[in-house]
Amino acid sequence: MSSLKQLKENFVSDLTGGSIEEIYLVTSVALTSYLAYKFIKDSIIQLPLVYDYVINVLTILTAITIYSNNPTFLHYSIFLPSLLVYLLNHYTTENKQRHHHRQSNKTNDTLLTRKQFLTAYRSHMLIITNLAILAVDFKIFPRRFAKVETWGTSMMDLGVGSFVYSMGLVNSRQLIKAHSQYKFSWKAYLKIIKQSTTKAFPLLVLGFARFVSVKQLEYQEHVTEYGIHWNFFITLGLLPVLLGVLDPFLTILPRVVVAFIFIALNELLLKRTNVLQVILSGENRMNNFITMNKEGIYSFLGYFTIFIFGQSFGSFVLTEYPTRNNLISISKTKAFRKNSNLITVTTTQGLIIATVFYQALFTIVNNSNYFTSISRRLANASYVLWVVSYNATFLLGYNLIDRLLPVQTKVASNLLEGVNNNGLLAFLLGNLLTGLINMLINTLEVSNTVAFLILIGYSAAWISIVVILNHKHIYIKL
């Protein structure tokens, strides 16, 4: 008779995923929720936190569980009532809201400002990720949304890539701030490597702690995901280390160019060497440390590429006004209309171009016999382009919503601000609570109703912590 540990491992193994179209439809509930929140916020300036939770968290939880088979109905159920509230308020009160809108559109000469659509994008991505890492252990969460074994697409496969992409996007803020004319010196280079390693240390410690705790507590693990010793925290921790090592190249070459070089290298390794056979073989697992962790080691190349792509978007997404050639490179020089060109863009223009380009490129690559099929396990070219094209599209969606309903207050949502400002802490809390819940109950025998209530309590717990910390202006950077 199989042990509970083995049963739980079997529950998340050998899965084949679902369709990309369904993933878009389900996860875009987050976009509809943000639009609904903006509609209601336009009418009720002081929106209670419980309503904030219902609109920005409970709707997403519902989309990936009880309404996973009927997301279209959920979209309408969220959108129509909020639109009705907005229209009733808009046509039965004075035009004070529209006055606020006009006031908020004045010119801002600050290069880097807080943008609400970025807060919403990143927070919703973290919320979906945290909900999924626990929900996947319950039967209420469809198996097609859980990580696939090797080939295919699923919502959770997209989630880990999007997490890394958003980290790269946020990280580019520091790049823009520190941008200057590049002059190489060994002293400065070694200092950058030291700083990068120091920055990586907390996450690497968390990765090691997770490895030890999983082994000591006999917690279920999916070996073909990252390997025996490797885990996602180690991948996250090593990203700044490699960034430091490659700093001279990343400074001289535009990051988008470096990212495409890595995509080509990734696919060449899979197509022209025996790397693919080594990774997929089940017979060499215990040969040495590399084969024990072959998935984590190899997929790191793809995740690093996604991170670099995320950074490449920062030059036009994070900035308040267009800078010279910002579609492909970082610059602090303000671009005036008379000097504009095709690669000097506003945020919306850049996102439209990026969405069309990456969606077209992904479609070509995904349907080509010259590239390997989508695989999160390998983090190959088609997977990387899927993640980038998806995030470009959703960033555009959030941006257009903000343009449709411009900013009225500095903080759109206390909940979204809290999650965004302590993003990595929120992710860590989600992982810790997921482990605790799995050790306390048998998730495989829980009814759908109880599972849903547990997920509500779980999400309310870690969200309450980050919201309280944010209220007290405490920001824990890992």
Domain assignment of residue 99, yes or no: no
- Is 230 in the same domain as 319? yes
Q: How confident is the model at residue 94, as a pLDDT?
A: 56
Q: How confident is the model at residue 99, as a pLDDT?
A: 44
396, 412, 428 — which closes off a domain? 412
Tens of pLDDT, residue by residue over 303-353, are 999 999 999 999 999 998 888 888 988 887 787 765 667 888 999 999 999
- Is 130 in the same domain as 203? no
How far from each other are the two terminal CA atoms of the chain, in whole angstroms? 42
Residue 401 contacts residue 117 (beta carbons within 8 Å): yes
Q: How confident is the model at residue 1, as a pLDDT?
A: 47
- Is 318 in the same domain as 369? yes
Q: What are phi and psi of 69, to 5 degrees?
A: -95, -5
- Is 192 in the same domain as 125? no
- Is 347 in the same domain as 433? no
- Is 366 in the same domain as 431? no
Query: Residue 7: exposed, middle, or buried by beta-carbon count in 10 A (0-12, 13-18, 19+)?
Result: middle
- Is 319 in the same domain as 382? yes
- Is 437 in the same domain as 324? no
Most confident of 180-184, 197-201, 454-458: 454-458
Mean pLDDT on 406-424 = 83
- Is 54 in the same domain as 139? yes
Tens of pLDDT, residue by residue over 239-248, are 999 998 998 8
Q: What are phi and psi of 72, to 5 degrees?
A: -60, -45
Mean pLDDT on 293-301 = 96
Q: At residue 257, what is the residue type?
A: V
Q: Is the pLDDT of residue 457 over 60?
A: yes
Domain assignment of residue 83, yes or no: yes
Q: How confident is the model at residue 248, as a pLDDT?
A: 85
CA torsion, points 85, 88, 89, 95, in degrees to nearest 10? 140
CA 433 to chain centre: 20
Tens of pLDDT, residue by residue over 188-203, are 888 888 888 888 888 9
- Is 401 in the same domain as 422? no
Domain assignment of residue 100, yes or no: no
- Give the pLDDT band (50/70/90) at residue 396: very high
- Give the pLDDT band (50/70/90) at residue 251: confident
* Domain span at 187: 153-412
Q: Is the pLDDT of residue 22 over 80?
A: yes
Domain assignment of residue 259, yes or no: yes
Most confident of 95-109, 205-219, 457-471: 457-471
Give the chain as a 3 state SS string.
Answer: CCCHHHHHHHHCCCCCCECHHHHHHHHCHHHHHHHHHHHHHHHCCCCCHHHHHHHHHHHHHHHCCCCCCCHHHHHHHHHHHHHHHHHHHHHHCCCHHHHHHHHHCCCCCCCECCCHHHHHHHHHHHHHHHHHHHHCCCCCCCHHHCCCCCCCECHHHHHHHHHHHHHHHHHHHHHHHHCCCCCCCHHHHHHHHHHHHHHHHHHHHHHHHHHHHHHHCCCCCCHHHHCCCCCHHHHHHHHHHHHHHCHHHHHHCCHHHHHHHHHHHHHHHHHHCCHHHHHHCCCCCCCCHHHHCHHHHHHHHHHHHHHHHHHHHHHHHCECCCECCCCCCCCCCECCHHHCCCCCCCHHHHHHHHHHHHHHHHHHHHCCCCCCCCCCCCCCHHHHHHHHHHHHHHHHHHHHHHHHCCCCCCCCCHHHHHHHHCHHHHHHHHHHHHHHHHHHCCHHHCCHHHHHHHHHHHHHHHHHHHHHHHHCCCCCCC
The two most distant CA atoms of the chain are separated, in Å, by 75
Q: At what angle do helices 29-43 and 116-135 cross, to 10 degrees?
A: 130
Q: How confident is the model at residue 102, as a pLDDT?
A: 44
Q: How confident is the model at residue 37, as a pLDDT?
A: 93
Q: Is the pLDDT of residue 390 over 90?
A: yes
Residue 33 contacts residue 165 (beta carbons within 8 Å): no
Q: Which of 26-35, 124-133, 269-278, 315-324 is least confident?
A: 315-324
Q: At residue 107, what is the residue type?
A: T
- Is 399 in the same domain as 289? yes
**C-alpha distance from residue 74 to each of 62, 68, 138, 202 (Å):** 8, 9, 21, 40
Q: Is the pLDDT of residue 2 over 70?
A: no
Positive or negative, the CA dihedral 85, 90, 96, 101 is positive
Q: Is the pLDDT of residue 103 over 50?
A: no
- Give the pLDDT band (50/70/90) at residue 409: low
CA 274 to chain centre: 31
365, 396, 412 — which closes off a domain? 412
356, 384, 412 — which closes off a domain? 412
- Give the pLDDT band (50/70/90) at residue 96: very low
Q: What are phi and psi of 84, to 5 degrees?
A: -60, -45
Q: Which of 93-97, 178-182, 350-354, 384-388 is least confident?
A: 93-97
- Is 163 in the same domain as 268? yes
Q: Is the pLDDT of residue 372 over 90?
A: yes
- Give the pLDDT band (50/70/90) at residue 183: confident
pLDDT more than 70, % of the chain:
93
Q: Is the pLDDT of residue 101 over 50?
A: no
Q: What is the pTM of this model?
A: 0.93
Q: How confident is the model at residue 104, as a pLDDT?
A: 46
Domain assignment of residue 326, yes or no: yes
- Round to whole Å and give the CA distance between 293 and 444: 28
The residue ranking higher by pLDDT, 67 or 476, is 67
Average pLDDT value for the chain: 90
Q: Is the pLDDT of residue 66 over 70?
A: yes
Q: At residue 249, what is the residue type?
A: F
Residue 345 contacts residue 313 (beta carbons within 8 Å): no
Domain assignment of residue 7, yes or no: yes
Domain assignment of residue 52, yes or no: yes
Domain assignment of residue 97, yes or no: no
Q: How confident is the model at residue 405, as a pLDDT?
A: 86
- Give the pLDDT band (50/70/90) at residue 91: confident
Domain count, the chain: 2
- Round to whole Å and give the CA distance between 78 and 163: 25
Half-sphere exposure of 290 (CA within 13 A, CB side): 4
Q: How confident is the model at residue 140, as a pLDDT?
A: 97
Tens of pLDDT, residue by residue over 155-165, are 999 999 999 99
